Structure formats: C-alpha cells, structure tokens
Amino acid sequence: MTKKIFGETDGIRAKVGDFPLRPNVLKTLGSAIAGEMQAKEFLMARDTRLSGLWMKESLTAGLEEGGIKVKDLGILPTPAISKILEQSDYEGGIMITASHNPATDNGVKLFVENGDKSDDTLELAIESRYFAADLEPDIELPKVEYVEMGTDSDSVAKYVEIANNVLSEGKKDEAPVSEKFKNGKIILDAASGAGHNFSRLVFEDFGLEVEVIDPEPDGENINEGYGALYPEKLSEYCKKNGVMGIALDGDADRAILVDEYGRVWSGDRIVAFLATYLKEQGLLENSTVVLTEYSNLAAIQYIQAQGIKVEKVVVGDREVARKCKELGAILGGENAGHIIYLPWLNSSDGTFVALLAEKIIREKGCALADLWPDYEDFPNEQLAVKVSEKRPLEQVAGWTEALEKAQERLNGRGRVFTRYSGTEMKLRILVEGPDFREDHEVAEGLKVIIEKEIGA
C-alpha cells in the first residue's frame, strides 16, 4: 500500500493550509493515532513556526477525544522529545516541525514509546483509520500571534543528566564529563528554531560559554538564511574569532560543525571524524559505518582507508539507523548533517553531536581544526527537477539511453544517482566526479529528458 498522508522518509510535511495541514484533518488524524496506538499519555512539542500553535491545538483535541492525555513540552528539538520519551513512562509522542523547510511549511513526526520514529506499518494503519472516519467540516486556518515560550527547564535538566551519563560511558567513579568542558566556548547558530534556547541552555549547563548568532525566533524566520543549510555566517564568525561552532536546522536534528579556521564540516566529514576516533578507542562496533547514496565519494574512500567498512542506504536518518541496527554498527549519517550514534539515540541529534565533539577535543587536548579529516570532496552537480508525476524512470522515454550515455562518459571516474523526493514533486539528480564541468553537463542532459517527458 502507498501512504497518502505520511511521507516516505520522515513523517508528514506540507505547505501550511494544504492537505493534510488543515485543522479538521489534524484533529481526525489525532483521533486515528489514539485509536491505533491505544496509549494513555503522550508528549508533544514543536519548533518555532507560528503555525505550530494551532496545529498543536488541533492534534491535541483529536488525541484527547481518543482518550490520550497530552503533556505539552512547548518548544523543544525533535531529538530531545525522542530522548525524553525513551527515558519516560509516556507511550508516544508528537513533534510538530518541518525540520529544515521554511516557515511556510510544517509537519508532524510521530514517535512510539521507546522514542523511535513510527514505522510504515503503524503509519499505514493510522491512515486506514483516518480515511474510515467521519471528517468534520473544514474551517479557516486559526489566526494566532507568536508568543515567546520559555524552554521547559525539566526537559533541559533531564537531557543534560542523560547526556552526561552517556558521554561518561557509565563510569560512575569519574567526574561528570561536563566538568571537563568548563572554560570552553562554542558559537551556536540554531536557525531561529527549536535549538535557539534549548541547545544554548544545554551547552551552558555543560560549562561552555555560548554565543548565539541566529536571530531571536519570531514564528516566521526559522531557517531563514541561518542554520545548517546556510553555514556561511557561522563560518565567517568562527574564522574571525578562532572559535568552533555548530549550525543546527529548525528542529535541531541536523548538525554542521565549523572549526576555528572557518572550515565547514559536512555530515560526511563528521562521520569520518567520529569513526576514526571510535576505532582508535576500540568502540566502533564491527568496524562499520553507514552512509547514504548522497555521501561524497572522497569521504567514503577516506573512511575505507582507515580500515573501516562503509555500507550505504538510499536516504533518511531513519534508514541509516535501521541499517546500523541490522549490521550491528553504532555510527552512520547523511551528508546533510543527520548523524546517527546509537549509544545515544536511534535518530539524529545535533546538540549531542556538538557535545560528543567537545568531549573528543578535551580528551585530545587540541582544537577541532586539528582533527580535520584530510581529504578533498569530489565536485558534484545536484539538481532538483520539478515533475508532474513520479513515473518509474525506466518508463520515461529516452531516460535509459541518456543514463547509459552519462555513465559511459564518466567511465568509472564518477557516478550518477537519482531518486524522487519523498516530500516534494521533484526528481533529484546527483552527478559526481573529478571534473565539475563534466558533472554539470551530464546532469543538465538528464534534466532535459525529465523536463520534456514529465516536467511540471
């Protein structure tokens, strides 16, 4: 069966006001979640988008109608609600966010009682209940004003406690890791999102001096020129001041590090850095990491040169985590900044990545810049082509021939990877090889075929 509400990669995401982000739809969806999960208590949180306020009310109404009591944690990163849920007696949770998307979008991420994201089976069952229910009449989107909401102090304290224990590797006879972080400094760019206050408070509780450079959230400026998608400002600041920094996305599950020279560390480079450290410590289970098809070939070759096996999945931190579990690995990630470290969480957590990097720096007595994995990324061309339908590519006239010619031209020096977006009507084309001009020409040639046959 094909899902019609939940996406293929990470919950629900859409333009605010479009299906399924309507008040009556979300209320009915909340009832369907309650009916399928049969829980008594749920946690709920959101990022800083203005639309999250009325979405919270609609979902809560449906959940409570279905017998679930909801505890509202306010503005909180996605991984924080996941981790808190894992350590609590609550039976499920909802995060209202569209992650790295602009404020005009929003979405819903659903979690089960152990903190894991919902799987396809559960999501299909919920959809079945939704479509079998009577939908209330549609109404206009509620008009709401942004209200700055303080970060839940209990959530911060619980997160810090758990993180201290994991980073200490359970060594109760040693001082908390946070004691070793004192007098350090970090620059934070939280994309005016969920980590703007939460991550700052966590870092401060770990003894770090924190300077926040992203603007105060106003409900509409999330991911607007700042954060993991736009690390340029952070890079300039870190280089000027000789301090390391971290860029998060809107719900703080992505992490992009920036070192004291202003160099931007992609997700691939962070995985390479962590994998090397863990292998040195004898902690890299099965000497294996999991990356995605979007990972740079140079990063893969660098990791393999360290005697570490690399396995790949298509896309999505959920898929990376699943593959890690299947292989008995503990580390993986996406180039975009989702880092999976299973001793911490089954999904990505940008705040924790910064803490783990800080721990390694303190152990080695050096700067982050001194640990830069020494490789140069292969150039690539990435295109997102709008499509009118997601027809199987082998059924698109001229595609197979064009792809064969592209691969012949690259002649083993590079690669072509394509996939339809899980959340948008787009085909993503990646061409990677040593010559950017060639990459560009090959990608443009494939784009022409798609636009002619199924372009929007």
| Active-site annotation, residues | 99
CB 50 within 8 A of CB 168: no
Instruction: Give the chain's count of helices (H) and strands (E).
Output: 13, 17
Q: Residue 311, SS3?
A: strand
The sign of the torsion formed by the CA atoms of 356, 362, 365, 368 equals positive
Partner residues linked to 341 by β-bridges? 331
Report how far apart the first and last C-alpha atoms of the chain are (Å, whole number): 25
Contacts of 354 (CB under 8 A, 6+ apart): 186, 199, 203, 246, 255, 257
- 105 within 8 A of 97, measured Cβ to Cβ: no
Interacting residues of 456 by C-beta distance below 8 A, sequence separation 6+: 386, 387, 388, 425
Strand partners for 42: 70
Distance CA(282)–CA(301), nearest Å, equals 21
Within 141-291, residue ranges assigned H as helices are 153-167, 195-205, 232-241, 267-280
Residue type, 283: L
Q: What is the DSSP letter of 16?
A: T
Q: Residue 132, Cβ neighbours under 10 Å: how many?
A: 9
Any idea what the Cα angle at residue 206 is, between residues 205 and 207, rounded to 5°?
A: 90
At how many degrees (to 10) do helices 436-454 and 399-410 cross? 180
DSSP character at residue 203: H
Q: How far is CA 78 from CA 48, 109, 238, 249, 374, in A?
A: 12, 8, 26, 11, 32
Q: What is the total residue count of the chain?
A: 456
